[in-house]
Chains A and B, each alone.
Chain A
Amino acid sequence: MVTAEELAYGMERESVAKGPLEIFEGGGQVVTDRDDRQTVGEPFVDNPRVSARNVNVYYDEKHAIHDVSLDLGENEVLAMIGPSGCGKSTFLRCLNRMNDTVASCRVTGKINFDGEDINSPKIDVVPLRAQVGMVFQKPNPFPKSIYENIAFGARIHGLARHRYELDEIVEGSLQRAGLWDEVKDRLEQPGTGLSGGQQQRLCIARTIAVSPEVILMDEPCSALDPIATAKIEELIDELRKQFTIAIVTHSMQQAARVSQRTAYFHLGDLIEAGDTKTVFTTPRHRLTEDYITGRFG
């Protein structure tokens, strides 16, 4: 605490400091008011890998996502952050039509991937979900051997004709997921016997085994300890060289660490999107500022 003597020096100004802080009138970095729900920042990039335009999602009558337009750039990690129920996971699930599995869910708007709207009825979701893979919050390996966990997808998508090709895919995927050295001697053992962090990396290996272009991650580290988390984050940075990644996370530090761009969602609106560096040092919307600094609005 400040001592009495020190206080005496600062006393006069302290009363100033405690007075109303709304004196500043210049257009500082935070410009957008809490009530304004227009997206600020830079939601679009020059050569998007996936581009969503005016996406709305309804669960029965409930309007869960309002008119979200956002791009995923090539070889970038886009972090989506926001409080629970803000629609970030729902939006993520739109990107490979996982919401189709929810009966009450309706999605409108355009999501372009490889020049086609993925919501078009012509699109076959099975190859789509191979191209846009997903990693979930809780590691969910198949109740099969480690080898089969990886080989399964490659086999059903017809990526390997011979056993040796399959072996190559399994080894390559495990290596890229940073798991090979830990499991190479026990490929026939069940995947469920691995530790949580290893299981999650197995799931990532399984996703990349079918050569996706985009990987969606829904809180991939929230069930993991800090060491396993650090390994996954390291892996995400490595995978970025080959894939485009969108990650939903509750950890703002994680978003700051792994992503190049960040999107902040609030009650179904995309509030702000842009450079991770900008969002975390000089956000342009008051709501983003409130959330990342831990304030209530």
Chain B
Amino acid sequence: MNALDLNHHISEQYNTELEDLRNKVLAMGGLVEQQISDALEALENLDGELGENVVFTDHKVNAMEVKIDEQCSWIIARRQPTASDLRLLITIIKVITDLERIGDEAEKIGHMASMLSEMKGSTSYSQQDEIMYMGQEVRQMLHDTLDAFARLHSKDATRIAHRDEKVDRQYESILRKVMTYMMEDPRTITLNMNIIWVTRALERIGDHSKNICEYIIYMVEGRDVRHTNFVGLDGVTGREDS
């Protein structure tokens, strides 16, 4: 049986308010996802203009965060939500914070892409393929996370959260290789530092997506799984990426 049922309040207006709020979160998620895609594309093609565009668009994400936050506080003041409604609002307030930070990370990547594009003679850089692979991985992770949010699906959220471990491993692997390059040829340090920042930003996006997954589990099941090595209901761990 579904723990969350956003409709059927006696107050029709309340239903509308919650639904509108949820749609806004999904819209914000969509915007952030787009930001990541653009940033990755800019990085892949070393497209400085597109990179700058990502930086420029970040204010939209910020504005949506503020707007949704405001709407949440108004609903809390007006409706004094309890149980699943309360969990939904708490979750939304937390989700949008993480979404906004993901937006910031995308902005950083966009900025790095434009810096890399300006670097003399750099049509490609070390580890480009690996970074793109990792980038697609975190983008997909966020995409699936937002789907789990839309579907109120805590089992999926459990599986997705565990994908963060893979992202962490990729981060470490790239870091090790980039460090070798820097030791081999100190002239590449500036370039490689930028690459480290990009990888770090991607790794953080994975962390934020994982946080969102944890909030989804809280929203649906009422269990707080933060800072635990959680397993899902019926022992779903998602470790095998099954």
B and A form one assembly: yes
A interface residue numbers (CB < 8 A to B): 1-2, 6-14, 16-17, 21-31, 33, 252-253, 256, 280-283, 286, 288-290, 292-296
Residues of B within 8 A of A24 (CB): 2-4, 151-155, 220
Which of B10, B31, B146 contacts A296, CB < 8 Å? Answer: B10
Task: Give B7-45 interface residues, CB cut-off 8 Å to A.
Answer: 8-11, 14, 20, 22-24, 26-31, 33-34
Interface digits, B177-204 against A, CB 8 Å rule (1 contact, 0 not)? 0000000000000000000000000000
User: Size of chain B's interface in residues, with CB distance under 8 A?
Assistant: 48
Is the Cβ of B20 less than 8 Å from the Cβ of A1? Answer: yes
Stretch of B81-89, B102-110, B125-133, B162-170 contacting A (4+ beta carbons < 8 Å): B81-89
Which of A13, A31, A280, A282 contacts B150, CB < 8 Å? Answer: A13
Is the Cβ of B84 less than 8 Å from the Cβ of A293? Answer: yes
| Given known contacts A10-B29, A292-B82, A21 and B146 CB-to-CB distance under 8 angstroms | no
Is the Cβ of B82 less than 8 Å from the Cβ of A28? Answer: no
Which of A27, A286, A288 contacts B233, CB < 8 Å? Answer: A27
Which of A8, A29, A289, A295 contacts B223, CB < 8 Å? Answer: A29
| Given known contacts A2-B20, A17-B26, A294-B11, A26 and B233 CB-to-CB distance under 8 angstroms | yes
| Given known contacts A12-B30, A14-B23, A29-B3, A23 and B84 CB-to-CB distance under 8 angstroms | no
Once bound together, how far apart are the Cα atoms of A228 and B3, in whole Å? 37
Once bound together, how far apart are the Cα atoms of A10 and B146, in whole Å? 10
Is the Cβ of B3 less than 8 Å from the Cβ of A30? Answer: yes
- 25 example contacts (A-B, Cβ-Cβ < 8 A) are as follows A6-B28, A7-B23, A9-B30, A10-B29, A11-B30, A12-B30, A13-B30, A16-B150, A17-B22, A21-B4, A21-B152, A24-B2, A24-B220, A25-B155, A26-B233, A30-B84, A281-B86, A281-B87, A289-B84, A293-B84, A294-B9, A294-B11, A294-B14, A295-B5, A295-B8
